[in-house]
Structure 1
Amino acid sequence: MKYVIKHYPKYILLFAILSLVLAVITVSDALVLQFIINNVKDSSKIPYYVIVISVMVFILLEGFAYYFQQFNSEYLAKKAVNLYRGIVFRRITAQRISIFDNHTPSKYVSLMTAQMDNLDENYFAAIFWAFYLIIQFIVACVIALAVNPTMAIIAIILSIPNLLLPLIFRKVLENTKIKTIKQTDLYIAKISDYLFGFADWKINGGSKLIDTQEKIENTRVLQFQKSELKAQNLSTAFNHAFSNVLYLGTWLIGAFFILNKQMTMASVVAFSQLVINISFPIYSCADMFSQIVGGKKLFEKIETEIPVNSNELQNNLQLDTFKKISFRDVTFKNDQKKILDSLNLDILANQKYVIKGPSGSGKTTFLKILTKQILNYKGLITFNELDITNIADQTLYSKIGYLPQHGHIFETTLANNLSLYQNKTNKDLIEVLKFVELNKWANEDSLSKQISSESISGGEAKRIELARLLLQNKEILILDEFSSGLDKDTLRKVEDRIFSLPHQTVLYVTHVYSNELINKADQIIQF
């Protein structure tokens, strides 16, 4: 809520005013009932048609107040989720790559969609509704004290058990909610894993096994949901019982006062309506409490999993024109297996390097260490004699362009895929498409073409990713297995152009190479 209060103070103030107005009008139902009964008993006081018109005006006022308060409340909850979703997304994208990779994309998607919807309903909306109910409770108590202080105090005393219920059930509600959230997250992760491997198990006869695994995970989710519902409904049952004690107890006390001629029937009816306006907020808040507790736990879970980025270096260090990157005794282990062992090498400006070696020899690991995707290595890496651990990630990335082994094509236009939504002229986009041998798309009409990874071939995707990289005009270009999916003739033409770039350092990783490619390189790095 701190984010909402900070960003939307005017909306919060408007919500509070509308809530107070609606609470006063709603609680005034009791006075309207008393007004009707008193005047029906003595019709000489006010004509019946005046009573009808007065009640109709009251109903209209209550309707208008209800509409504006509810709309403002629900819209404020939507704005709160919208605000928090943006905050979380910016935190996700601000993470270091090494931190980002701790979770799968499906985890982040679940967080940004299903879990945000959960927060909307079970946290923000519930808090605003509970706030209104508290105002209604206070207004009802004030009016009740004005009508009959003795009965008001008795009613408030009878409501104490309902007020204590949330505190009694808090721990069990929290625990069951946390377990349900964790199991749901696990189910989403499992299903995402199964669907990513759809073709593998579909073709290779694993359908029954996958179905069985899904049923197991789904049943576990249901079991935790059942436990959560048990806790919620046990709390609700006690809440309902104590609310009946309050309501019926008020009638019994009212009957006593009528018998002793200390109250009229109209006063008892009015007071019983006031008690409803006292008990309803308590009853609803007790139920709402379980939602808010669960929502708060989800909010805290998100805050813990996606904290404010404090690991990224925040300095104004600027890098000069690239001269040299040095690796000194760099070692990296993965699952007790040495991937890199005391690596020593220098990468010099404007040089072209072919990095070769069999699959699993450490080529991609080397690139990930260089681009700070892997941080838990031993040894020293310097950029222009500066330890890269002291260089902010974005500062380093301003010098390095990286085409990963498995890149990504966004579901948008060709132009947006090339420019990454930056301002680039059509002339620049067309020129770079020609550079990467995508001449069929090197025209203005094709730039607005919608593409996705499914609508283009693997070789086309690789060349679009290369074109995207070249448009950034970085000093260092890193290409990891660029040759995958390209025919020999196209690959040869593009490689000629890459290795002829006059002012850029190229690290070209491949496990498929020819003597022609070797001859183009200034140096071969063997893994």
Structure 2
Amino acid sequence: MVSSFLSTLHNSLLSRIFGQASAIELIKKKAEIFDNLTYKEYVKNTPGSYFSLFFNEAFTKGEMFFAFLFHIISIIFPIISILATIFYINPLIGAFVLGFILLWTVFPAFFRKFFSKKIQEQLNSLENFNEEFNKKLAKFEAFLFFNKIHLLKKILKPTARNASFGQKSYRFWDEFNNNINLSIRKLFLILTDLSIILLGIYYKNSAQTIVVLVTINSANQLFINDFNTLIVLMINYLSLKSQFRKSKLNEKSAKKILNFQSFNEKIDLISIENLNFNYQDKLVLKDVNLKIIKGKKYLLQGENGAGKSTFLKILMGIERDYTGKITFNSRDLKSISDENIITNISYLDNNPCLIEGDLDQNISFYSKYEARKIEDLINLINLAKLKGKILINYCEKSDLSVGQKQLINFASHLIETKPILILDEAFSNLDKTNSQNLLAWLLKQNITLFFIFHNLDQNLISKFDFQLNFSKNQILVS
């Protein structure tokens, strides 16, 4: 019984601790893929895909990989000793022993309900970590556009840590379930041996016969169990080793080396000549000629899918596979790096990004600004009632409405005072009064504004310097 308990503890806990520690180190190393990930490369996959990549490829398989290795080493010695013993005996086990084998195979089923409930609880917990990780990873765009991408790993770390403990708990109960069943089988094996001894004494068999029967029964069953375990572990170990070699986590994610030149100027003029762009063999923009003048306000109008967001992504350097020529001042856009573009352009869409912390921390977004500047923006968005409150915790839980989140996100971009501001449905969840007041304020600022918003009042439309109408792959200026 002591041996069975130690075996259960070893198989379900010690090997998993070894595996978990190694897997966590693997995740830390592989998280570096975000450092060199461009926006265009990032959006090829969903946040859920990245969660799966890390916690299936790196953690789950990584933990199993290292645990298998540890487990294989731990069972080699009992296999050798059992194998040495069995060479000295001849198999002869009666119907009574067979009956006990069937009994100890069926008996563990009574424990399944309890362990199944425990395992399901751990699986539900892991689902919550999945959702939390996805929400945090969805902030990639904001961290990229704020030029704070190196901090993304910091907010992912608590979730990864909690998920690792969740995985450990799940694995413990899963393995404990399997190993307690094995221990029960070993208990029945002892009872079988005891029965053989008693029957042997009752029928006056020789001591040598009884010893042979007990040895055969014990050695045969233990050897079969451990030998089968070894074969399964070896197959899984080799399979996981092969999977790791082919895993996406081993792919090099370094950015393409482009002929970028230093660009530290403020953008006064954007010139677009004969711009053409295709997306998946579908023509989106054709022969576009346009000049974007510093300080002017541009309203982008057109049906969904007409190319408004695509046009803005081209200006931001996200989409570079266009033909024609675009220059910032006199510099070709294709020669300007993403980082230099981001220093000039703020981009907001309808998916606001909040970070763990209070209102001031969310507006400053990991940077330092004067308290007065933050206070002015809080008054502008009319959210002074939230000052000092934690807006979102590390589990991504928040009581804020989407509209409030959009206001805070708006303020966090304004504080950077970049010369060009892009609002792509960024006011979609604001009430009419708030959206009109903020837009009226923006129209008075000395910035270049690109604004996408449906159902805008005519009196506000008339206040824009230019309307860019997207229709039939063209941009018509009015």
C-alpha displacement of 1:523? 3.0
Q: Which residue of the partner structure matches residue 444 of structure 2?
A: 500
**26, 37, 58: which one aligns with 1:84:** 26
Q: Which residue of the partner structure matches residue 124 of structure 2?
A: none
Preserved CA contact (<8 Å) 1:326 1:345: yes
For residues 286-342 of structure 1, give each alpha carbon's deviation from its aligned partner in whole angstroms, at most 9, with x where no partner exists. Answer: 3222222332344234336x7332234478843222223333222223354322112
C-alpha displacement of 1:365? 1.4
More deviation, 113-122/91-100: 113-122
Q: Which residue of the partner structure matches residue 179 of structure 1?
A: none
Question: Within 5 A, what are the aligned runs for 1:287-436?
Answer: 287-303=232-248, 307-313=251-257, 317-323=261-267, 324-409=269-354, 413-424=358-369, 426-436=371-381
Distance in 1, matches of 2:273 and 2:230, equals 63
Q: Which residue of the partner structure matches residue 54 of structure 2?
A: 112
C-alpha displacement of 1:113? 2.8
Distance in 2, matches of 1:501 and 1:377, equals 32
- Does residue 1:509 correspond to 2:452, yes or no? yes
User: CA 1:303–1:353 in structure 2 vs 1: closer, same or farther (change >3 Å)?
Assistant: same
TM-score under structure 2 normalisation? 0.58
Distance in 2, matches of 1:432 and 1:454, equals 21
C-alpha displacement of 1:464? 1.6
User: CA 1:289–1:510 in structure 2 vs 1: closer, same or farther (change >3 Å)?
Assistant: same
- Does residue 1:124 correspond to 2:69, yes or no? no
Q: Which residue of the partner structure matches residue 462 of structure 1?
A: 406
Distance in 1, matches of 2:369 and 2:20, equals 35
Preserved CA contact (<8 Å) 1:437 1:494: no
Question: Within 5 A, what are the aligned runs for 1:6-405?
Answer: 74-92=16-34, 94-130=36-72, 285-303=230-248, 307-313=251-257, 317-323=261-267, 324-405=269-350
- Report the secondary structure of 2:247's partner residue: helix
Preserved CA contact (<8 Å) 1:357 1:510: no
Preserved CA contact (<8 Å) 2:356 2:390: no
Distance in 2, matches of 1:497 and 1:453, equals 31
User: CA 1:416–1:439 in structure 2 vs 1: closer, same or farther (change >3 Å)?
Assistant: closer
- Does residue 1:476 correspond to 2:452, yes or no? no
C-alpha displacement of 1:132? 5.9
Distance in 2, matches of 1:478 and 1:389, equals 20
For residues 230-263 of structure 1, give each alpha carbon's deviation from its aligned partner in whole angstroms, at most 9, with x where no partner exists. Answer: xxxxxxxxxxxxxxxxxxxxxxxxxxxxxxxxxx
C-alpha displacement of 1:438? 2.8
User: CA 1:281–1:388 in structure 2 vs 1: closer, same or farther (change >3 Å)?
Assistant: farther
Structure 1 outlier segments of 4+, above 6 Å: 66-73, 137-140, 276-283, 451-454
Distance in 2, matches of 1:394 and 1:461, equals 26
Q: Which amino acid aligns with 1:438?
A: L
Query: Whose RCO is larger (CA < 8 A, sep 6+)?
Result: 2
Distance in 2, matches of 1:116 and 1:434, equals 46
- Report the secondary structure of 1:84's partner residue: helix
Preserved CA contact (<8 Å) 1:98 1:372: no
Distance in 1, matches of 2:440 and 2:224, equals 80
For residues 186-244 of structure 1, give each alpha carbon's deviation from its aligned partner in whole angstroms, at most 9, with x where no partner exists. Answer: xx9xx99xxx9xxxxxxxxxxxxxxxxxxxxxxxxxxxxxxxxxxxxxxxxxxxxxxxx
- Does residue 1:526 correspond to 2:454, yes or no? no
Distance in 2, matches of 1:283 and 1:342, equals 69
Distance in 1, matches of 2:227 and 2:317, equals 54
Distance in 2, matches of 1:75 and 1:453, equals 30
Q: Which amino acid aligns with 1:474?
A: K
- Report the secondary structure of 2:25's partner residue: helix
- Report the secondary structure of 2:285's partner residue: strand
Listed as ranges, the gaps of 5+ residues in structure 1 are: 1-58, 145-150, 152-187, 197-272
Distance in 1, matches of 2:64 and 2:369, equals 44
- Report the secondary structure of 2:374's partner residue: helix
- The number of aligned residues is 348
C-alpha displacement of 1:403? 0.1
Q: Which amino acid aligns with 2:325?
A: L
Preserved CA contact (<8 Å) 2:272 2:290: yes
Q: Which amino acid aligns with 1:108?
A: Y
- Report the secondary structure of 1:288's partner residue: helix
For residues 113-132 of structure 1, give each alpha carbon's deviation from its aligned partner in whole angstroms, at most 9, with x where no partner exists. Answer: 34444223321222344456
C-alpha displacement of 1:521? 3.0
User: CA 1:472–1:297 in structure 2 vs 1: closer, same or farther (change >3 Å)?
Assistant: farther
Distance in 2, matches of 1:454 and 1:285, equals 49
Q: Which residue of the partner structure matches residue 214 of structure 2?
A: none
Distance in 1, matches of 2:338 and 2:257, equals 7
User: CA 1:407–1:122 in structure 2 vs 1: closer, same or farther (change >3 Å)?
Assistant: same
User: CA 1:413–1:94 in structure 2 vs 1: closer, same or farther (change >3 Å)?
Assistant: farther
C-alpha displacement of 1:489? 2.6
User: CA 1:297–1:397 in structure 2 vs 1: closer, same or farther (change >3 Å)?
Assistant: farther
Listed as ranges, the gaps of 5+ residues in structure 2 are: 88-126, 136-217, 471-478
C-alpha displacement of 1:91? 0.9
More deviation, 421-430/431-440: 421-430
Preserved CA contact (<8 Å) 1:414 1:450: no
Preserved CA contact (<8 Å) 2:293 2:448: yes
Distance in 2, matches of 1:418 and 1:301, equals 42
Distance in 2, matches of 1:108 and 1:475, equals 34
Q: Which amino acid aligns with 2:378?
A: L
Preserved CA contact (<8 Å) 1:404 1:480: yes
Q: Which amino acid aligns with 1:522?
A: D
- Report the secondary structure of 2:67's partner residue: helix
Distance in 1, matches of 2:362 and 2:11, equals 44
Q: Which amino acid aligns with 1:340?
A: L
Q: Which residue of the partner structure matches residue 200 of structure 2?
A: none
Q: Which residue of the partner structure matches residue 184 of structure 1?
A: none
Distance in 1, matches of 2:382 and 2:399, equals 18
C-alpha displacement of 1:85? 1.8
